[in-house]
Structure 1
Amino acid sequence: MGVDKTNIKSPADVVANPLPEDARSNESDTNRADVGKRPPPLLAKLFTVFLISCISFGSHWSTGVTGAMKSTIKKQMNINNTQFSLLEASEDFMATVLILLSGIITDRVGGAGMMVAGNIVYTIGSILVAAATQVRSFNFMIGGRVILALGDIATQIAQYKMFSSWFAPSNGFASTLGFELAIGKIGGFVGKSTANVIAKNTGNFSWVFWTSVFMNLFTNFTTVVFWFFTRYCNKHYLGRRDNATKEELTDKNKKFEWQKMMQLPWTLWCILAFSLFQTSAALVFSQNATELAEQRFEVDSVKAGWYSALSQYAGFFLVPCLGLFIDILGNRATIIFICGLGTFLAMALVNFAPSHGGTAASFAVYAIASALGPTSIIDSIRTTLWHQSVFGSAYALKITMNNAVNIIIRIITGALQDADNNSYQRAVQVYLFQGAAGLAIGLAIVVGTFFAQELELLQWTRWKRLTRGGPEIIQQLKEHNLVTHPRRTRRLAITGFACIMALTLGGWAAYIWGAVTGHNN
């Protein structure tokens, strides 16, 4: 995948004619519209980060609740492990159906509007879920989770699309992403650790979900404020640019960018392959961590909720530091490898050291590994793209893929647990396989940075990307992939899309199997 130097225009040629005729015409129209405007001040950028972080706090609070309540929900709703997995997978199922379409639409209409609409639908779904727990109806609860998922689908892509329109790689994207994820982890920790406390002190676990409704109302208010603020900024400030590529960062496009979606680089698919195993292992493990802690530590649900919350969110303080590190020093591939190694070690300890000490060690290692994953993966996706305008679609591919695999793994591990007398003895072997596969791919990406310039971009420091020939090299690589070898790039993109669609069909099959077989009687 190296660059053929003989087929690349010189930096002088690229700089002299960086845009086709129609693009230059559009740029001149934009320049006329921007007369009198000034770049957005630092305060505006910081306020953007603050608002999105508030939204993230509320949404992560709600997300952490159901997993922490697994034992309680099974007892109160009189369901088994496979049915609980079906409840969790119902949200993943809706995501696989609609999340890719949501990413394409977000690129077209913008992140702010999608966040407003999505959070309204999410709140309606959370009200239905709370009502379902009040009347103890499992089918009603699944219906509520489906509605809730529709709102979550709209907001998942939108908030990161907003970040990509304000900040470029090595110029604030990873830092702001890390700060937002840290706030989200705090919200998830509070929601997960207090869920069983609320249920125990109120005497009715439904109050946990009604509290989630109130938190969602706060999220809606913050989202509306952010929408008005975004409109103000678009009216008074210049558009942001990536200083390395001179590309204008956009929140929404003038049309659907189908052609650019077929120009996704091969390095993106490498990052998605790593996320296929590592992210899914982390998410499914987190879902079951509270009940696993109850069994391994022999404690009640309240203490187990605290232990699992610590394992999932204790590394929150590392996330903003990691974002700063990536923005300044790069080394994204190295961090991805370390994340894969940590996830594998945590899963190995869960499998081979079931004692109190071994389980505690696995939770501690997992806390560090899970803190490294999201920032490095999302920033790497953004860094590999040739076009920021399709970041929403690219990130939607990741979410679609992860949710499809989550359904398959959740149904499999739920069935294994039911067949194993509610034990995790066999279910954790699935986590180990995912951890090992993620580690192997992470190692391949690191080794690949020494042989392929496209992968080497992941390791670049801020100084290298913005100076020292970095912009010229990026332009050369872009031209090499999109002009010199466009068919190869298109074929790789089509193959990647086909693989994700195959995984999606597999996820649908697993969900339907869980819904119609005797496991859910």
Structure 2
Amino acid sequence: MGIPGTTSSGSSVHTRQTFAEELTLPELVQEQSTEVIRVTGKVENDTISLKSEGGRSTKVPLSVKILSVAMVTAIGFGSDWSSGVTGAMKSTLKKDLDINNTKYALLSSSEDFMKTALILFSGIITDRIGGAGAMLYGNAIYSVGAILIAAATTVRSYKFMILGTVIQAFGDIATQVAQYKVFSSWFAPSNGFASTLGFELGVGKIGSFVGKASANIIAENMGDFSWVYWMAVVMNVFTNVVTLIFWFFTRWCEKRYSAKHDPATGEKLTEKNDHFEIQKMLQLPWPFWCIIAFTAFQTSCAIVFTNNATEMAEQRFDVSAVTAGWYSAMAQYMGFFLVPCLGVFIDILGNRLSVMAICGIGMFIAMCLAKWGPTVSGTAASFGIYAVAESLGPVVIIDSIRTTMWYQEVFGSGYAIKIAVNNSMNIIVGIVAAVIQDKDDNSYNNVVGVYVFLAAGSMLVGIALFVAGYFFIDLGRLQWTKKHRIRYGGLINAQKEKIEEGDAGKKNRAFSVSMFTVMILLILGAWATYFWGLATGNNNA
């Protein structure tokens, strides 16, 4: 049975490559052995035997890794709980602050705007100072913003709340990249990274659901909706305490353990760098940009659908806003149990391109039902399929971004690019959808066409990547199982060396720079759309 990206012939493995020459199996084995010896000095039964480096142990106990993941997950739970609370208070804020849809949208759009403006710098800084350090100052800033927002709701000041939202966005920008940077420094692709992501994202979904479900209960029992935001402040204090403990924990680990290595390639996994790696960031491989194309459609479709799911359910099911909120929450969070399982599946069996194709197809079917099945049963089926399809996206996208990258030390920058693209798309799509919906008397009959377009884009990109994986080894290795990645680790190193020099290197750098240019134009387009929406009053997505 062949491996995607390779074709067997006798005792050789011939690869159809984008920027690299063909290598035979003996050359792959020799290359892999040379690389492993270079890093560790010893090869035994295709595993890496590590010796003590500078008096520090090179073998990190599993219990230490689990403790690290648990603390980062606890930090993420607090943040997701807070975001779930805020999302559930839209109607209350509009009523008690006496604002309309346009003014409310300015709160969320301002956060997206700040992220597109600063997230790339945050990624570069996170790579330099480390994920633990970025989370420490990021959560502190986020908590200051949360306090200002809570104070603003207490005195009923809309402008004061905008200030708090902007400050909170500064902190959120830092923490979004940092937690996954930490995971990348502890776990390599197909060696626990996807499983860790799945666990954290699954717990995060629970946190968001609990926050969304408890918000109105807190407001009703306390007699003032501002208590919801003060409870969010309490949760943020908890995340700050855990973050501080985690920061000291990472310092302790640095003294006791040396850097971890990728068991397949021998690559050193770093938590922070000695200097800024701008050049490596500018030569990201072409498969990385393929994953960015997929997330541009899939994630944007998921976000815009989720943001409007409650109102759609209210109209289509003819139920109250509270009941509709429960329906939308189920569509958004029902698949939380699938996420950890998917992470384990990807770590062991790979098939990342297959999962992306299935995710895209599922999203497309769900949006088609929402568009052309505007009945109660059709919308219910749409919500159910969406709940499963959406759950497949985050883990496979983030893990694929890491797997395609040659240099783990710039993973923070790579993930920041994903966030920048997603938020730019959110601004553009949100405002376009708002204009369409306003012209259709607030109905979802026509605006759902935008969702169908985005879902179709994710499906087509997903299928195209799956097919291309059989022809290009740089993309096809996303399908590799854990055993395949270990066996062909030398091929990954050979590809990496060829991409750094000669014509292949020049082509890759030129392509990467051109993609950076496209990304900057997308960001500028999002800014133009944002300011146009404010000027014309159409920023009510």
Aligned to 2:500: 482
Shift of 1:195: 2.1
| Residue 197 (str. 1) matches residue 217 (str. 2) | yes
Within-5 A mapping of 1:332-371: 332-371=352-391
Aligned to 2:419: 399
Deviation digits for residues 240-274 of structure 1, max 9, x if unmatched?
10011101100001111122112210000000000
Contact 1:71 1:291 in 2 (8 A): no
| Residue 210 (str. 1) matches residue 230 (str. 2) | yes
Tell me which amino acid in the other structure corresponds to 1:505.
L
Shift of 1:519: 4.6
Question: 1:223 aligned to 239, 243, 265, which one?
Answer: 243
| Residue 450 (str. 1) matches residue 470 (str. 2) | yes
Aligned to 2:3: none
Tell me which amino acid in the other structure corresponds to 1:2.
T
Aligned to 2:515: 496
| Residue 108 (str. 1) matches residue 128 (str. 2) | yes
Structure that is richer in helix per residue: 1
Q: Secondary structure at the match of 1:5?
A: coil
Question: 1:5 aligned to 18, 21, 24, which one?
Answer: 21
Shift of 1:35: 2.6
Separation (CA, whole Å) in 2 of partners of 1:420 and 1:198: 36
| Residue 471 (str. 1) matches residue 471 (str. 2) | no
Deviation digits for residues 208-241 of structure 1, max 9, x if unmatched?
2222111111111111111111111111012110
Within-5 A mapping of 1:48-87: 48-87=68-107
Question: 1:329 aligned to 336, 349, 367, which one?
Answer: 349
Tell me which amino acid in the other structure corresponds to 1:362.
S
Aligned to 1:253: 273
Shift of 1:418: 3.3
Deviation digits for residues 148-175 of structure 1, max 9, x if unmatched?
1100000000000000000000000001
Aligned to 1:27: none
- Mean Cα deviation higher: 266-275 or 216-225: 216-225
User: Aligned pair in 2 of structure 1 residues 478, 202: CA closer, same or farther (>3 Å)?
Assistant: same
| Residue 41 (str. 1) matches residue 64 (str. 2) | no
Aligned to 1:280: 300
User: Aligned pair in 2 of structure 1 residues 357, 137: CA closer, same or farther (>3 Å)?
Assistant: farther
Separation (CA, whole Å) in 2 of partners of 1:75 and 1:370: 32
Separation (CA, whole Å) in 1 of partners of 2:148 and 2:442: 29
Aligned to 2:443: 423
TM-score, normalised by the number of residues in structure 1: 0.93
Separation (CA, whole Å) in 1 of partners of 2:171 and 2:191: 31
- Percent identity, aligned pairs only, is 55
Contact 2:146 2:232 in 1 (8 A): yes
Tell me which amino acid in the other structure corresponds to 1:517.
T
Deviation digits for residues 51-75 of structure 1, max 9, x if unmatched?
0110111111112233333333333
Tell me which amino acid in the other structure corresponds to 1:310.
M
Question: 1:265 aligned to 285, 293, 311, which one?
Answer: 285
Aligned to 1:372: 392
User: Aligned pair in 2 of structure 1 residues 114, 464: CA closer, same or farther (>3 Å)?
Assistant: same
Contact 1:290 1:301 in 2 (8 A): yes
Separation (CA, whole Å) in 2 of partners of 1:395 and 1:159: 11
Separation (CA, whole Å) in 2 of partners of 1:285 and 1:520: 17
Tell me which amino acid in the other structure corresponds to 1:482.
E
Contact 1:92 1:407 in 2 (8 A): yes
Separation (CA, whole Å) in 1 of partners of 2:257 and 2:408: 19
TM-score, normalised by the number of residues in structure 2: 0.90
User: Aligned pair in 2 of structure 1 residues 297, 197: CA closer, same or farther (>3 Å)?
Assistant: farther
Deviation digits for residues 74-115 of structure 1, max 9, x if unmatched?
333333333333321111100001000000000011000100
Q: Secondary structure at the match of 1:37?
A: coil
Shift of 1:36: 4.2
| Residue 517 (str. 1) matches residue 536 (str. 2) | yes
Shift of 1:409: 1.5
Contact 2:370 2:379 in 1 (8 A): yes
Aligned to 1:438: 458
Q: Secondary structure at the match of 2:445?
A: coil
Contact 1:196 1:302 in 2 (8 A): no
Contact 1:68 1:290 in 2 (8 A): no
Q: Secondary structure at the match of 2:275?
A: coil
Aligned to 2:524: 505
Separation (CA, whole Å) in 1 of partners of 2:20 and 2:418: 30
| Residue 129 (str. 1) matches residue 145 (str. 2) | no
Number of aligned residue pairs: give it: 512
Tell me which amino acid in the other structure corresponds to 1:284.
V
| Residue 383 (str. 1) matches residue 399 (str. 2) | no
Aligned to 2:12: none
Shift of 1:16: 8.2
Deviation digits for residues 306-338 of structure 1, max 9, x if unmatched?
211111111010111000000000000000111
- Mean Cα deviation higher: 425-434 or 178-187: 425-434
Separation (CA, whole Å) in 1 of partners of 2:397 and 2:192: 15
Contact 2:260 2:268 in 1 (8 A): yes
Q: Alpha carbon RMSD of aligned pairs, Å? A: 2.4
Tell me which amino acid in the other structure corresponds to 1:84.
Y
Separation (CA, whole Å) in 2 of partners of 1:102 and 1:413: 29
Separation (CA, whole Å) in 2 of partners of 1:519 and 1:303: 28
Separation (CA, whole Å) in 2 of partners of 1:7 and 1:179: 37
Deviation digits for residues 275-307 of structure 1, max 9, x if unmatched?
001001111221222222222223333222221
Shift of 1:197: 2.9
